[in-house]
Amino acid sequence: MLNPSFVLATDLDGTFLGGSESQKRSLYNYLLQEPDHVLIFVTGRDVDFIRDLVAQPGMPRPHYIIGDVGTSVFDGSNFEPIVAVEAPIASSWEKSASRVADMLDGHPRLRLQPVPFRHRRSYYYDPATFPREVLQEVEGAGLDWILSADEFFDVLPRGVSKGPTLMRLLRHLGLSEERVLVAGDTLNDLSLYETGLRGVAVGNAEAPLLEHIEALPNAYRSDLPGAAGISDALRHFGLSNLKEFSS
């Protein structure tokens, strides 16, 4: 589908999966009934989580998945990696993975996240005791980092995050940027708005994200949480004929 009426590229936790049950059901039913769209999950979650998620009754299945904070890309129809988009990410990470593990694993103020890593390494942290000097170490090693939700510390290949990977996927698919809406709620979504694509920060978004996007003309701040905020933004930008959503 090269000319969909809209492309929704959305974070999951707190965003697509946020809001009341009636708010989520209103958006999900619309997506299930509206064939002329492309749905992309852009998340820190891994593909196994998403496979279980879409097995739930009434959950829309994404056409594409950008997982692991932008470091993995999958076809939503079969959960197979899209190698053409992933290849430069994988190549960059292979040169750095062992160095990151040697540098940060076992650090007394970091705790490795027990998830299957592909092209990133992720830790839990306490904002009161976070050793900020490790950020300089990561940058000095030629890598990028993201802190989000006062809990998650991700180390990524340089230049790789949700936004840049989404742009690579859109170009690979030949999808126009004009009909894209990005949606998120935490700082690991910031790069989505920095692409220049139209975006919404849902009503329950964390304050640091709101502060960073305040001056971005493409970013809309909805008063409504989670799925309702997405519905609100689709109407705000004129990207769909979604008329109502539950409050």
CA-based torsion, 236, 237, 241, 246: positive or negative? negative
Amino acid letter, 65: I
- The tokens for 87 are 């290849």
Q: Which residues of the chain are in CATH 3.90.1070.10 domains?
A: 95-157
pTM to 2 decimals?
0.93
Each residue's pLDDT expressed in tens, for the chain with a length of 247 residues: 568 999 999 999 999 999 999 999 999 999 999 889 999 999 999 999 999 999 999 999 999 999 999 999 999 999 999 999 999 999 999 989 999 999 999 999 999 999 878 899 999 999 999 999 999 999 999 999 999 889 999 999 999 999 999 999 999 999 999 999 999 999 999 999 999 999 999 999 999 999 999 999 999 999 999 999 999 999 999 998 766 554 4
Walk across the sheet containing 198-201 and list its strands: 80-81, 72-75, 64-67, 37-42, 6-10, 180-184, 198-201, 219-221
Helices and strands, number each (H, E), in the chain: 9, 12
Domain 6-88+160-236 bears CATH identifier 3.60.21.10: no
Q: Which residues of the chain are in CATH 3.40.50.1000 domains?
A: 6-88+160-236
pLDDT of amino acid 246: 46
What does each C-alpha distance from 88 to 36, 37, 46, 157, 159 come to in angstroms? 31, 28, 19, 10, 11
CB 222 within 8 A of CB 181: no
- The tokens for 42 are 């852009």
Q: Which CATH number describes the domain made up of 95-157?
A: 3.90.1070.10
Alpha-carbon distance 138 to 133, whole Å?
9
pLDDT of amino acid 31: 96
Tokens 């979650």, located at residue: 45
